[in-house]
Amino acid sequence: ASSSPSDPFNSSRRKIARAKEHLDNLTREIRAFVDGGAYKQVVEDDPDRPGYTIHKIKLIEPISPAIEDIAGDVIINLRSALDHACFAVAVASGNADPKNAYFPFARTAEGLERAIKGRCKNIPKEIYPLFHSFQPYEGGDELLWALNLLCTADKHRIITPMGTGCLQPGINLNGTGFFDMPTPPVWDRTK
């Protein structure tokens, strides 16, 4: 890991800066994809509720590989920044070549202590309460947990970003009756 004596977190900061650059690129690519008419709006009768309609957005072009690749770059850089920071802490504490200086994640709050003892052996124990405060597990800090899941997934397959939107600035939703947005959103890759 690259760091300087004046700023031991230099490499972590660089990873974050790179993630921000990728995020800017991702935003531009998504905007170009959406503005390029890559989707159509479809209104269908709801088969389960007569008199109701389902509004869908269907892609008419595949998602650009650049969008998928850049999304992975954002995720990997952010996740790596956490490990770089832990490595810097281990080096700053006097360990010249730490082998176990990773940011810990666990499936549960109970599993976090095991993760810390295994993956953070070269990090001073005084830092362990800080790791606990981040709650890097499912049911804790959901953003950290999602970042780790996405990073792990991106190591094995391409991540396809998807999202839902209901209201955006400049758009009005008018009507009467029931309005429903599936939570979590439904994504059918085949459609």
- Tell me: the pLDDT tens digits for 6-43? 899 999 999 999 999 999 999 999 889 888 888 888 89
| pLDDT band of 183, cuts 50, 70, 90 | low
Predicted structure pTM score: 0.76
| pLDDT band of 191, cuts 50, 70, 90 | low
pLDDT on residue 153: 84
Question: What's the rounded Cα separation, in Å, for the pair 53 and 165?
Answer: 17
- Tell me: the pLDDT tens digits for 68-106? 899 999 999 999 999 999 999 999 999 999 999 999 999
Contacts for 112 with CB less than 8 Å, ≥ 6 apart: 104, 106, 131, 132, 136, 137
Tell me the three state secondary structure of residue 181. Answer: coil
Cα dist. 125→89, 103, 132, 171 in Å?
A: 11, 13, 12, 52
Q: Which helix (H) or strand (E) holds 57?
A: strand 53-59
**Contact criterion met (CB below 8 Å) for 18 and 78:** no
| pLDDT band of 161, cuts 50, 70, 90 | low
